[in-house]
Each structure stands twice: as C-alpha cells, then as structure tokens.
C-alpha cells in the first residue's frame, strides 16, 4: 500500500506541541514500514521522524499553526490563518496522494475532513480527540453519512463522543517496544507526564504527592504558563519537580525509575499515550476512570482506576501501588499495544476505506 500521511498542524514533529499525535505518527510509520508498506509524511518544517523511520519520505511545509481545538470554545467557528500550515499540508498531501492509495489525515481539524466530500481519492481520518468542537463534530456526521468507514478512533470511550457513528473503528494505539526498557524500581518517586494545560489536571496529582509528603516529578511541555504558575502557587514551595520536555529515549530512562505514574485528565482523553509508555517501562499507573485510560488500565493488574476527579480516592490507590507487579505492566503493552499490532489494525481499516472508492 502507498500511504500519504498528514501530520498535526500544531508544532513540528519533535516539538511536543502536537501532543500524543507526534508519537502515534512515528509508531504508525514504523509499523507500516515493517509490514512492507510505503509511507510518505507531510509535516511542518523542522519536523523530525524517529531514526528508525528513515525509509519514510518526509515533505516539509511552512506556515502558521492552527489553534488547538481543546483551547477554544465548543461553538467557535473555524479559523484559518493567513499562510495556513494546515492548508499547505493538505495541498501537498493531495498532490502526492494522486500517485498513492490513500491519504491518511492525523490532524483534528475541519478542512481535511470537509475536503473528503469533494475529492474522489480515499481520505481516511484518525480522530485524535473526543468531541471538542461542534462544527467538526457536525461535519464528521455529514461525511460519515457518505463514507461510513473513513474515521477511526483510539478508544471506545472517545468514540462515544460521536454517538451517530454506529460501529466505530477502534484502532487503539501502538508503541515501539524497543524504545522502552523495563526497570524494577519499586521505591522510586511519583511521576506525572503530559502537556501542562488545564485539560490534563496536573493539580490533582500534585495534591496526591503533597499529601504523601513527596515531590512530584513532572515531565512535559508547559503549554499554558499561567496555569502552571497557578498550580505552583497553590502548593508549598518545591512541591513540583519540573523536569522539562524530553525525547522518548531520555523520558523512558527517567520514567522507568518511578514507582508510579499519576494520570489526571479532566476531559474525555482519547487514549493517553503516557500511560502506555509508563507501563512499557514497568511503571504502574493510577488514573481517573474516564476516557481512554479507563480502557487501557487493568484495575488491580497494571494500576488502578480512581473515581473521576476524586483526589482522595486517587491517593488511596497510590498508597497501595506496590501491590501491582511491574512485569505485568510491561506484558500488557507487549500483548496489546505494540507498533505492529497497531499498524495491522490501521491497515485493515484502510483496506475498508479504499474498498468504498472502488
Ligand atoms: N512527551 C514527550 N516528552 C516529555 C513529555 C511527554 O515526548 O517529556 C510526549 C509523550 O511521549 C506522549 C505525548 O507527549 O506521546 C503526550 O501524549 P498524550 O496522549 O498523553 O496526551 P496529548 O498531549 O495527546 O493530549
């Protein structure tokens, strides 16, 4: 199969601004290549693919980023900046896709979905968020009526945000397991990993660590400075150990030393890459029982699911986290979320999409 992939229009690959999509795209590219498919990626200038993806051709586009939908009002209209990166990537992707089998869009935005109605080539969409915009959700509904197979979701809970989709295609997510080394660090610190932005609920994790008299190690891009400093001010000095944004290789080395990861999303998290990355290093996870995390974590086996927004319940589970066998965490990822398993699901789905156009 010849597949052209369109990246997120928010930040170059490697910047961290695109969140989990950056890692998902890399795992998918390597999984597809190892299955023998040819892959071209259209991405913002300065993007880098992981070293293992040298076989994929990368096309650069320059332009202005989109505003992330989770930071706009649900009813906001679509806005497209002058010299739009998204428009540029789409134009290039459509042009290359003339000689390919399918265009695979990984940006959560209006334009690539709308164009599906107006082009005769197969355009498939990995929807990376829950319903964060009325205009996009309504458009998905309209495109779905014509092309019922063109959308895939990371989890059932995420797909529930789009109730008009009768039998959603769930692809989960995939991870290059060679990039994560198992560590048996039962006595390490507590970790939190993610974009530092309100929908990620960092404050609840700081509360839990602080109740235990511990510093919380926080890795990730500070997307919202005001939010970060507000949290910092509401806890005693030094409650947070800001560790910055690291490459996957550096992150997994540090994360593997921790005894647990706290995951505290306030929104319907589509999947939660950081959970699986922690599990791959042998780190159990305590998360709120909502969105993708509630499908990934096996309660009592690979971590615990606390009642949503109930910090005390989360604290209770963190106190018994040593009951989880770290080897079980790694095993779950090997059996359920490798890059190959993921790529196979995506290929099956893309075949269905392409069949609609025959
Ligand atoms: N991440 C990273 N380095 C860091 C912290 C986070 O590369 O120091 C990456 C992490 O690997 C994950 C992404 O940031 O792929 C966050 O994705 P997630 O699905 O957890 O949430 P999203 O940002 O997409 O909402």
DSSP string, 290-322: STTHHHHS-BTTTEEEEPTT-HHHHHHHHHTGG
Task: Specify the ligand 1 atom closest to the Cα of 24.
Answer: 15
Which residue lies with its CA nearest to atom 6 of ligand 1? Answer: 220
CA 98 to ligand 1 center in whole angstroms: 33
Same domain? For 119 and 191 the reply is no
Say yes or no: 143 and 267 in one domain.
no
Give the chain's largest Cα–Cα span: 63
| Nearest-CA residue for atom 21 of ligand 1 | 20
Q: Which atom of ligand 1 is nearest to the CA of 265?
A: 25
Protein residue closest via CA to atom 12 of ligand 1: 20
- pTM, 2 dp: 0.97
Give the CATH number, domain containing residue 204: 3.40.50.2000
Please check whether residues 234 and 279 belong to one and the same domain: yes
* C-alpha to C-alpha distance for 339 and 324, rounded to whole angstroms: 25
**Is 209 found in the same domain as 169?**
no
Is 9 found in the same domain as 144? yes
Query: Is the domain of 243 the same as that of 346?
Result: no
**Closest atom of ligand 1 to CA, residue 244:** 8
pLDDT confidence of residue 81: 97
For the CA of 22, the nearest atom of ligand 1 = 15
- The CA distance from 62 to 111, in Å, is 17
3-class DSSP state of 238: coil
Q: How does DSSP assign 201-217, residue by residue? A: -HHHHHHHHHHTT-PEE
Q: Where are the alpha helices (DSSP H) in the chain?
A: 20-34, 85-97, 110-115, 134-146, 156-159, 202-211, 225-233, 248-255, 273-280, 293-296, 311-319, 326-336, 339-356
- Check residue 24 and give its pLDDT: 98
- The pLDDT tens digits for 192-207 are 999 999 999 999 999 9
Ligand 1 surroundings by CB, under 6 angstroms:
16, 19-20, 23, 193-195, 219-220, 245-246, 248, 251, 271-274, 277
R_g (Cα) of the chain, nearest Å: 20
pLDDT (0 to 100) of residue 43? 98
Same domain, 96 and 195: no
Kindly report the backbone phi and psi dihedral angles of residue 196, in degrees, each rounded to the nearest multiple of 5, phi listed first.
Answer: -85, 95
Whether residues 147 and 236 share a domain: the answer is no
C-alpha of residue 22 to centroid of ligand 1, in Å: 8
Residues 32, 181, single domain; the answer is: no
Q: What range defines the domain where residue 133 resides?
A: 2-175+338-355
Q: 343 with 34: CB under 8 angstroms? A: yes
Q: Do 17 and 137 sit in the same domain of this protein?
A: yes
Mutate to test the pocket of ligand 1, among 253, 264, 274 (most ligand atoms within 8 A of CB): 274
* Ligand 1 center from residue 95 Cα (angstroms): 31
Q: How far is the CA of 118 from the centre of ligand 1 (A)?
A: 34
Q: What is the whole-number distance in angstroms between the Cα of residue 133 and the centre of ligand 1?
A: 22
The number of helix segments (H) and strand segments (E) in the chain equals 13, 13
Specify the number of domains making up the chain. 2
Ligand 1 center–CA 193 separation, angstroms: 7
The answer to whether residues 194 and 323 belong to one domain is yes
pLDDT of residue 137: 98
Co-location of 82 and 104 in the same domain: yes
Q: What letters, b where the CB count within 10 A reaches 16 and e where it falls short, cover 291-311?
A: bbbbbbbbeeebbbbbebeeb
- Counting from 1 in the atom list of ligand 1, the atom nearest the Cα of 277 is 11
Distance 21 CA to ligand 1 centre (A): 8
Residues of the chain with pLDDT under 50: none
């Amino acid at each position: 199969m010849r597949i052209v992939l369109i990246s997120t229009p928010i930040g170059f690959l490697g910047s961290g601004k695109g969140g989990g999509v950056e890692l998902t795209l890399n795992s998918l590219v390597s999984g597809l290549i190892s299955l023998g498919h040819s892959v071209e990626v259209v991405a913002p200038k300065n993007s880098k693919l992981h070293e293992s993806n040298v076989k994929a051709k990368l096309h650069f586009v320059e332009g202005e980023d989109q505003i992330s939908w989770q930071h706009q009002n649900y009813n906001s209209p679509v806005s497209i900046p002058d010299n739009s990166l998204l428009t540029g990537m789409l134009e290039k992707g459509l042009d290359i896709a003339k000689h390919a089998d399918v265009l695979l869009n990984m940006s959560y935005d209006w334009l690539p979905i709308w164009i599906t109605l107006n082009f005769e080539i197969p355009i498939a969409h990995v929807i990376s968020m829950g319903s964060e915009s009325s205009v996009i959700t309504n458009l998905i509904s309209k495109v779905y009526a014509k092309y019922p197979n063109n959308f895939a979701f990371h989890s059932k809970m995420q797909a529930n945000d789009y109730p008009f989709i009768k039998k959603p295609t769930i692809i989960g997510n995939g991870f290059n397991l060679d990039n994560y080394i198992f560590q048996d660090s039962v006595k390490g610190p507590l970790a939190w990993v993610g974009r530092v932005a309100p929908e990620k609920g960092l404050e609840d994790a700081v509360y839990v660590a602080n109740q235990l008299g511990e510093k919380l190690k926080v890795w990730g891009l500070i997307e919202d400075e005001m939010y970060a400093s507000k949290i910092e001010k509401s806890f005693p000095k030094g409650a947070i150990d800001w560790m910055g944004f690291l490459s996957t290789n550096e992150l997994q080395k540090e994360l593997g030393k921790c005894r647990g990861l706290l995951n505290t999303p306030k929104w319907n998290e589509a999947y939660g890459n950081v959970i699986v990355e922690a599990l791959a290093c042998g780190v159990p996870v305590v998360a709120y029982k909502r969105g993708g995390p509630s499908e990934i974590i096996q309660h009592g086996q690979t971590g615990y699911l606390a009642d949503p927004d109930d910090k005390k319940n989360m604290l209770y589970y963190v106190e018994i986290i040593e009951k989880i066998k770290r080897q079980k965490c790694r095993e779950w990822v090997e059996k359920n979320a490798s890059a190959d398993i993921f790529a196979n699901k995506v290929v099956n789905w893309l075949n269905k999409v392409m069949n609609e156009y025959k």
